[in-house]
């Protein structure tokens, strides 16, 4: 710049260009560092579950056999849980079917109960009608019995009169008309 190759730019412009150049280089280096930091954290986040579990096991137990045992146990427990879930689902379906049958049976029993209650009421009505009829018949029978007793008394008194008159044949008179 002092050699005269760049003519026409003032010192202030050249200084401004240099400052901007340093700012851009600083910003670029900062962004590159930030990129590498993000790349590293992304890589750590993207590690598989197995690698993270291996690291934890190595810190806790210090052996891969323990890790393998844990993986096998976790896998077995997962399979057992799936079996239990399938069994629970099947039992739930069976329970729903049984509940539906119970509801149907309950409905039928309610209908049968209503029908039987109707029959009971009809029988009670006919029983009360029969009681009334029997009460009327009893009063009629009592009246007939009273009349029969009167007729028997009259019959007995007539027999007595006939016997008395038959004992005395001469006094026998025909009734006057």
CB 64 within 8 A of CB 54: yes
DSSP string, 91-114: HHHHHHHHHHHHHHHHHHHHHHHH
Residue 138 belongs to domain spanning: 47-162
Is residue 169 one of the residues assigned to a domain? no
Is residue 9 one of the residues assigned to a domain? no
CB 62 within 8 A of CB 56: no
Is residue 100 one of the residues assigned to a domain? yes
**CA-to-CA dists, residue 60 to 18, 48, 54, 64, angstroms:** 55, 19, 10, 11
Q: Any idea what DSSP says for residue 169?
A: G
As a dihedral over the C-alpha atoms of residue 5, residue 8, residue 13, residue 15, rounded to 10 degrees, the angle is 30
Q: Any idea what DSSP says for residue 177?
A: -
Is residue 65 one of the residues assigned to a domain? yes
Tens-level pLDDT at each residue, the chain (177 residues): 455 555 678 888 889 989 989 888 989 999 998 888 877 766 666 666 667 767 776 777 666 677 677 778 889 999 999 999 999 999 999 999 999 999 999 999 999 999 999 999 999 999 999 999 998 988 999 999 999 999 999 988 888 888 877 776 555 555 554
Q: How far is CA 17 from the centre of its chain?
A: 80
What's the distance, Cα to Cα, between the start and end of the chain in Å? 185
Is residue 25 one of the residues assigned to a domain? no
Is residue 174 one of the residues assigned to a domain? no
Is residue 85 one of the residues assigned to a domain? yes
Is residue 172 one of the residues assigned to a domain? no
* Domain total in the chain: 1
């Amino acid at each position: 710049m002092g050699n005269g190759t760049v003519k026409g730019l003032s010192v202030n412009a050249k200084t401004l260009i240099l400052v901007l150049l340093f700012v851009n280089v600083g910003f670029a280096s900062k962004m590159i560092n930030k990129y590498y930091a993000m790349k590293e954290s992304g890589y750590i986040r993207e590690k598989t579950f197995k690698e993270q579990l291996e690291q934890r096991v190595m810190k806790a137990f210090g052996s891969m056999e323990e890790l393998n045992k844990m993986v096998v146990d976790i896998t077995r427990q997962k399979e057992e849980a799936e079996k239990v879930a399938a069994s629970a689902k099947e039992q739930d379906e069976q329970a729903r079917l049984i509940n539906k049958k119970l509801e149907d049976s309950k409905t039928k029993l309610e209908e049968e109960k209503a029908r039987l209650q109707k029959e009971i009421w009809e029988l009670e009505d006919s029983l009360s009608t029969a009681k009334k009829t029997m009460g009327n018949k009893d009063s009629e029978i009592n009246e007939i019995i009273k009349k029969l007793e009167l007729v028997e008394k009259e019959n007995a008194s007539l027999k007595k009169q006939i016997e008395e008159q038959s004992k005395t044949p001469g006094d026998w008179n025909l009734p006057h008309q």
